Amino acid sequence: MVPTELVEKEFWRLVSTIEEDVTVEYGADIASKEFGSGFPVRGGKFKVRPEEEEYLDSGWNLNNMPVMEQSVLAHITADICGMKLPWLYVGMCFSSFCWHIEDHWSYSINYLHW
């Protein structure tokens, strides 16, 4: 396994080098309803394993956050991808996601799966 310090050092070397090109793959705005999100969903298209059941009702399950009683998004009845339905982002080593302002100045919640 390559040490994380070495990977980060190489990342910043590549960022600061204009003579060298590197191609990386990155997928953005992938509909979690279609492909999954890393969290289980009741009645979804993917089978929920016994060890995942505790996450079905978790407040940290990104599928639950927008429909929780305390969420301002609970007042929106439409399934809006990226707001009410989580999006999935997939990147390989050296891919990056820039800091930005979310649509309508809304909040963003992200998690990382290994």
For 23-67, what is each residue's pLDDT tens digit?
A: 999 999 998 888 888 899 988 889 999 999 999 999 999 999 999
Structural domain of 46: 23-105
Encoding tokens for residue 37?
């999100």
Residue 84 lies in a domain: yes
Name the domain count of the chain: 1
Residue 17 lies in a domain: no
Rounded to whole angstroms, the Cα distance separating 67 from 74 reads 5
DSSP character string of the chain = ---HHHHHHHHHHHHT-SS------EEEEEEHHHH--SS--TT-SSPPPGGGGGGTT-TTSTTTGGGSTT-GGGG--S--BTTTB-EEEEE-TT------PPGGG---------
Residue 12 lies in a domain: no
Residue 13 lies in a domain: no
Q: What would the mean pLDDT of 9-34 be, rounded to a whole number? A: 93
Residue 88 lies in a domain: yes
Q: How confident is the model at residue 114 (pLDDT cuts 50, 70, 90)?
A: low
